[in-house]
């Protein structure tokens, strides 16, 4: 990348943060800081897009620690979120490749079910069939382990769909809201009264495995189930990213990811931003499965 191109990317990034960031005053501060750094030539020597992304991301997160606020490098190019058709095709291809995020589905000795989700990025239109197939296998287990130790993102719609399988049929349960300060709107997320195939149900025990890598949508699933007292969280404190982001293509290999809404859990009235989800049983991530499985067999 040449200097003029770099400065154009940073200028557009600053404008997007100022316009869309979930906390407008912080967005304005970040944009001013980027403009000052650009004027000082802080980024002019970074010809490789991945190097630019690394340095700018550090500057974006300075003081606020928002891990969703990034200049993200994509070796194969970012999705163009301004083109709904192309974006949908992009995510559908990834969902097919990743089996909708259902990384591992297994029935363990002791009639314990295991579901590893990695990631939750895809919404139910892209990954609902994969989840339904997984839950069909797991529905008759006596207990369930949900492994989110390598789950680094997710769709709130898919989180709500997963939760729908983990409660009994009946009145939907209000999980969380996404509040957009920019336009004053609020979007609610509830479990659904209907799911394809059998439910695991709302009474059998669930353990959720977490690590310091678990992030964003993975954290939301752990947090929602923990707050509703539907699952016991076993493992490490998670990374602490609760502000869903929107992507903006800035370059052939660079995407601005800007948090645009704030999560509000219906039990706690807050979220896990900056603090992470605190496990109920604090053990190293590589011991979480053994600990949870031991408890599941004994339950």
pLDDT in tens, 227-279: 999 999 999 999 999 999 989 999 999 999 999 999 999 999 999 999 999 99
Tell me the DSSP string of the chain.
--HHHHHHHHHHHHHHHHHH-SSHHHHHHHHHHHHHHHHTTTTTT--SHHHHHHHHHHHHTTTT--TT-EEEE-TT----TT-HHHHHHHHHHHHHHTGGGEEEEEEETTTEEEEEES-B-S-HHHHHHHHHHHHHHHTT-SEEEEE-TT---B-HHHHHHHHHTTS-SSS--EEEEEEETTTTEEEEEE--S--SS----SSS-EEEEE-TT--THHHHHHHHHHHTTS-EEEE-------S-EEEEEEETTEEEEEE--EEEETTTSS--TTT-PPPSEE--HHHHHHHHHHHHHH-
* Residue pLDDT, tens place only, 3-25: 999 999 999 999 999 999 999 99
Residue 75: per-residue pLDDT: 92
Per-residue pLDDT band for 90 (boundaries 50, 70, 90) equals confident
- Taking residues 123-138, what's their average pLDDT? 95
In this structure, of 17-21, 86-90, 162-166, the range with the lowest mean pLDDT score is: 86-90
Residue 68: per-residue pLDDT: 94
- Taking residues 80-85, what's their average pLDDT? 75
Question: Is the confidence at residue 83, as pLDDT, over 80?
Answer: no
Question: Is the confidence at residue 119, as pLDDT, over 90?
Answer: no
What integer best gives the mean pLDDT of the chain? 94
- Taking residues 85-107, what's their average pLDDT? 89
- Taking residues 197-214, what's their average pLDDT? 98
């Amino acid at each position: 990348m040449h200097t003029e191109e770099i400065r154009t990317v940073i200028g557009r990034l600053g404008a997007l943060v100022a316009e869309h960031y979930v906390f407008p005053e912080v967005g304005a501060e970040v944009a001013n800081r980027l403009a000052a750094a650009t004027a000082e030539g802080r980024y002019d020597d970074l010809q490789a897009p991945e190097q630019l992304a690394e340095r700018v991301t550090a500057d974006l997160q300075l003081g606020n620690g928002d891990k969703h606020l990034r200049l993200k490098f994509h070796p194969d190019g970012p999705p163009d979120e301004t083109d709904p058709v192309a974006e949908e095709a992009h995510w559908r291809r990834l969902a097919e490749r990743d089996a909708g995020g259902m990384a591992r589905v297994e029935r363990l000795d002791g009639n314990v079910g295991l579901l590893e989700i990695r990631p939750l990025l895809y919404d139910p239109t892209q990954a609902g069939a994969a989840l339904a197939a997984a839950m069909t296998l797991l529905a008759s287990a006596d207990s369930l382990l949900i492994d989110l130790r390598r789950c680094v993102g997710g769709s709130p719609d898919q989180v709500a769909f997963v939760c729908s399988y983990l409660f009994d049929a009946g009145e939907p349960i209000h999980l969380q809201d996404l509040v957009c300060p920019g336009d004053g709107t609020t979007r609610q997320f509830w479990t659904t009264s209907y799911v394809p195939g059998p439910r695991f149900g709302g009474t059998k025990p669930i353990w959720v495995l977490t690590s310091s890598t678990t992030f964003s949508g993975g954290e939301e699933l752990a947090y929602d189930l923990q707050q509703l007292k539907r699952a016991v969280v076993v493992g490490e404190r998670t990374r602490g990213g609760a502000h869903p982001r929107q992507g903006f293509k800035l370059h052939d290999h660079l995407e601005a990811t800007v948090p645009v809404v704030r999560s509000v859990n219906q039990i706690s009235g807050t979220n896990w931003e900056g603090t992470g989800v605190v496990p109920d049983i604090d053990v190293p991530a590589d011991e979480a499965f053994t600990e949870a499985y031991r408890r599941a067999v004994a339950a």
